[in-house]
A and B are shown apart, each in its own frame.
Chain A
Amino acid sequence: MNKILTKINLAPQVYEFIINAPLIAHKCQPGQFVIIRTDANSERLPLTIADFDRISGTITLIVQAVGNSTRYFCDNFQVNDVILDVVGPLGVPSHIENYGTVICVGGGIGVAPVYPIARALKEAGNKVISIIGARNKDLLIFTEKMNNVSDQLIITTDDGSAGIQGFVTDPLRKLLEEGCKPGLVLAIGPVIMMRNVAETTRPFKAPTTASLNTIMVDGTGMCGGCRVKVGDNNMFACVDGPEFDAHLVDFDNLVQRQQMYKTHESLEYGCGGHCKCVEE
Chain B
Amino acid sequence: MRGGVRNKMPEQPANIRNKNFNEVALGYDLNTAIDEAERCLNCKNPRCVAGCPVNVEIPNFIQALIARDLKKAIDILKNKNSLPAVCGRVCPQESQCEKNCILGIKGDPVAIGRLERFVADFARDKKLDSIQAKPLTTKNKKIAIVGSGPSGLAAAGDLAKLGYAVTIFEALHEPGGVLMYGIPEFRLPKEIVRHEIKQLRDLGVKIEPNIVIGRTFTINDLFNEENFDAVYVGTGAGLPHFMQIEGENLNGVYSANEFLTRVNLMGAYKFPKVATPVFIGKKAAVIGAGNVAMDAARTAKRLGAEQVYIVYRRSEEEMPARKEEIEHAKEEGIELKVLTAPLKITGTPNGWVNGMECCLMQLGEPDQSGRRTPIEIENSTHLLDIDMVIMSIGQGPNPLIKATTPDLAINKRGNIVADEYGQTSIPGVFAGGDIVTGAATVISAMGAGKKAAQAIHQYLTKE
* A→B interface (CB under 8 Å): 23-24, 27, 37, 41-44, 68-69, 72, 84-90, 217-218, 220-225, 227-229, 234, 239, 250, 253, 256-257, 259-261, 264-265, 267, 269-274, 278
Contact = CB atoms under 8 A, between A and B. Distances in A.
Contacts of B211: 23, 87
B275 A42 contact: yes
B399 interface: yes
Contact of A224 (B216, B244, B257): B257
Contacts of B291: none
A37 B276 CA distance: 11
B272 A269 contact: yes
A162 to B, nearest CB: 35
Given A218-B261, A220-B400, A227 B249 contact: yes
Contacts of B270: 273
A269 B274 CA distance: 11
A88 B172 CA distance: 10
A218 B273 contact: no
A255 B276 CA distance: 20
Contacts of A260: 251-252, 279
Contacts of A217: 258, 261-262, 266, 276
B353 to A, nearest CB: 11
A37 B261 CA distance: 15
A250 B249 CA distance: 11
B221 to A, nearest CB: 8
A58 B108 CA distance: 62
B216 A89 contact: yes
A124 B251 CA distance: 41
A218 B216 contact: no
B171 interface: yes
Nearest to A255: B351
Given A27-B215, A37-B173, 5 more contacts: A88-B216, A90-B212, A223-B261, A234-B244, A253-B351
Contact of A273 (B173, B248, B274): B274
Contacts of A273: 270-275
Contacts of B30: none
B210 A41 contact: no
Contact of B350 (A27, A69, A256): A256
Given A42-B275, A221-B400, A278-B272, A89 B215 contact: yes
A225 B216 CA distance: 22
Contacts of B274: 41-43, 272-273
A217 to B, nearest CB: 6
Q: Would you list the 7 A-B pairs with minimal beta carbon distance, nearest first? A: A272-B275, A256-B351, A264-B277, A223-B258, A222-B238, A87-B210, A269-B272
B interface SS class: loop
B249 A253 contact: yes
Contact of B261 (A87, A90, A222, A264): A222
Nearest to B398: A221
Q: Which of A41, A88, A229, A269 has the most CB of B within 10 A?
A: A41
Given A264-B271, A278-B273, A221 B249 contact: no
Contacts of B215: 27, 88-90
Nearest to B216: A23
A87 B400 contact: no
B242 interface: yes
A87 B212 CA distance: 7
B400 A86 contact: no
A239 B210 contact: no
B212 A88 contact: yes
Nearest to B249: A253
Interface string B75-108: 0000000000000000000000000000000000
A74 B327 CA distance: 48
Q: Which of A86, A264, A274 has the most CB of B within 10 A?
A: A264
A250 B250 CA distance: 13
Contacts of A225: 254-255, 258
B209 interface: yes
Contacts of B275: 41-43, 68-69, 72, 272-274
Nearest to B256: A223
A162 B250 CA distance: 40
Contacts of B173: 37, 44, 84-85, 87
A267 B272 contact: yes
Nearest to B212: A220
Contact of B398 (A89, A220, A227, A272): A220
Nearest to A270: B272
B172 A218 contact: yes
Contacts of A229: 249
Contacts of B377: none
B376 to A, nearest CB: 24
Given A221-B399, A256-B251, A43 B171 contact: no
Contacts of B399: 221, 239
Nearest to A253: B249
B239 interface: yes
Contacts of A250: 249
A85 B172 CA distance: 9
B173 to A, nearest CB: 4
B261 to A, nearest CB: 6
Interface string B302-330: 00000000000000000000000000000
A214 to B, nearest CB: 11
A144 B65 CA distance: 73
A47 B138 CA distance: 41
Contacts of B240: 222-224
Nearest to B209: A85
A44 B252 CA distance: 20
Contacts of A261: 277, 279
